[in-house]
Amino acid sequence: MRTLTTIGQLDQHAGQTVWIGCWLGGKRSSGKIQFLQLRDGTGFVQGVVVKSEVPEAAWTAAQQLTQESSLYVKGEVRAEPRSPSGYELTVQEIEIIQITQDYPITPKEHGVDFLMDRRHLWLRSAKQRAIMVIRAQIIRSIQQFFDERSFTLVDPPVLTPSSCEGTTNLFHTKYFDEDAYLTQSGQLYMEAAAMALGKVYSFGPTFRAEKSKTRRHLIEFWMIEPEMAFVDHEENLRVQEQFISYVVQSVLANCRRELETVGRDVSKLEAIQAPFPRITYDEAIKLLHDGGFDIPWGEDFGAPHETAIAAAFDKPVFITHYPTSIKAFYMKPDPNRPEVVLCADMIAPEGYGEIIGGSQRIDDPQLLAERFAEHELSTEAYQWYLDLRQYGSVPHSGFGLGLERTVAWICGLEHVRETIAFPRTLYRLYP
């Protein structure tokens, strides 16, 4: 194979002649010049083929090229201030790898179902590529944030014998002769890991068989779950606001071009700096009542409620101290007011909904045992979890960030289905 340069590295080769491997996005012709829109995954560049300056073979090869044909191109890298990449390629030779026939995704408008059926091809579009690049930067910055603060990455299991977030939306499977479930959350295992390593975080896929067909729900999504020993509710919130500010600022610093490609209003993202506003569940209920909503105390918020609350702020907002009755069994009650728990949901601005759920955990063995009885949880299945409160129990807190909702918010996307390469949604397991 010849040595290839990538489009993303053309700035290091100005004035030189290079080979690139690429696909044809589209082309224009003005009779004696053909303009090839080339992409190789790392970027986009225009190849200019001038009939009077190239061998006959290069000219006819350019004429044969169809959308998504694959090829090698040899050309001279020329600075071109009007091009988005800053460069153009003056084509000298073309070697066709494959001529594509009837590429199904044409430059005209297609419906979402049509595109989702061809997700394996749709990923090649400039916008979908930009989303994947931003997602990768978000993941990189998440890992940097926790690694820089001496958290240890720990991987909880995907196949589990019991549930973490309630039993209603579990994916069931067989584990030889036993029943098993795909994990909904690694949290309980991360609590064990925090007792061994202090500050830990996990990053992996989680599964919820939720029969909800909304723009915020996926069946398979990725979650980041930090868990911290000797950290209380207050400090948990401070870590979260610093974390989210860090991630947003890192995307702004590294993905300007991609944010432009997805059409994001970056001024909204620039405002995302800690600290974030906090309101209690009680205050949120009052805000909703003032806004004309008819929701009784004790009921959980739905998407319209979250959107209305978020509209009052231009940063993510923490809603704290939810009623104990609507939250998970492991959350620690407020000692001054046991009918609410030391928890917080972080609601993203602009209607993107809850991106983080977190809490201080119950550390008292007695109280945890009571919760197990109330929630009819099997003490046998969770004996290992109960053990954690017997052998050196300490105050601890943690949270879970939903990656896809975070990507949707940062990219300004209408629906989470475009935030992951191959989304699993209520009615889609293909491709």
Binding site for ligand 4AD (CB under 6 A): 164-165, 185, 187, 208, 210, 217-218, 221, 223, 225, 354-358, 398-400, 402, 404-405, 416
CB of 261 to Mg ion, least distance (A): 31
| Closer to Mg ion by Cβ: residue 316 or 357 | 357
Q: Assign 3-state DSSP to the chain and report helix, strand, coil percentages, each to 5.
A: 35, 30, 40
> Which residue's CB is nearer to ligand 4AD, number 61 or number 244?
244
Tokens linked to 426: 């209520």
CB 224, min distance to ligand 4AD, A: 9
Q: What are phi and psi of 314, to 5 degrees?
A: -105, 10
Q: Closest Cα to residue 351, out of 385, 288, 419, 305?
A: 305
Element housing 290 (H / E): helix 281-290
Nearer to ligand 4AD, 36 or 244 (CB): 244
Q: How many residues bind Mg ion (CB under 5 A)?
A: 1
Q: Does 423 bind Mg ion (CB under 5 A)?
A: no
Cβ atoms of residues 402 and 223 within 8 Å:
yes
Q: Is 47 in the site for Mg ion (CB under 5 A)?
A: no
Least gap, CB of 160 to ligand 4AD (angstroms): 13
**Partner from ligand 4AD, Mg ion, none binding residue 405, C-beta < 5-8 Å depending on class:** ligand 4AD
225/231 Cα distance (integer angstroms): 15
Which does residue 388 touch among Mg ion, ligand 4AD, none (CB within 5 to 8 A, set by kind)? Answer: none
Shortest distance, position 330 Cβ to ligand 4AD, whole Å: 8
Which candidate, 196, 210, 204, 200, places its Cα nearest to that of 165?
Answer: 210
SS3 assignment, position 244: helix
Q: Tell me which of ligand 4AD, Mg ion, none is bound by residue 40, counting a contact when its beta carbon lies within the kind-specific cut-off of 5 to 8 angstroms.
A: none
Its sign, for the CA torsion 78, 80, 85, 88, is negative
- Residue closer to Mg ion by CB (options 104, 304) is 304
User: From CA 210, how far away is CA 328, in angstroms rounded?
Assistant: 17
Q: How far is the CB of 74 from Mg ion (least distance, A)?
A: 54
Among Mg ion, ligand 4AD, none, the one that 223 touches (CB under a kind-dependent 5 to 8 A) is: ligand 4AD
Burial class for 26, CB neighbours closer than 10 Å (0-12, 13-18, 19+): middle
**Calpha distance 196→152 (Å, rounded):** 10
Contact letters for Mg ion, residues 327-366 (x by CB under 5 A): ------------------------------x---------
Provide, rounded to whole angstroms, the least separation between the CB of residue 172 and ligand 4AD: 17
Q: How far is the CB of 255 from ligand 4AD (least distance, A)?
A: 21
DSSP 95-111: EEEE-----S--SS---
210 binds, among ligand 4AD, Mg ion, none (CB under 5 to 8 A by kind): ligand 4AD
Q: State in angstroms the smallest separation of the CB of 421 from ligand 4AD.
A: 15
Nearer residue to ligand 4AD within complex by CB, 119 or 396: 396
Phi, psi of 23 (to 5 degrees): -120, 155
Residue 75 touches which of ligand 4AD, Mg ion, none (Cβ within 5-8 Å per kind):
none
* Alpha-carbon distances of 377 from 108, 167, 374, 382, 409, rounded to whole Å: 54, 10, 8, 8, 36
Query: Which stretches within 27-125 are classed as H helix?
Result: 56-64, 112-117, 119-122
Return the number of the residue (174 or 213) whose C-beta is nearest ligand 4AD: 213
Q: In this complex, which beta carbon is closest to ligand 4AD, that of residue 83 or of residue 169?
A: 169
Q: Which residues bind Mg ion (CB under 5 A)?
A: 357
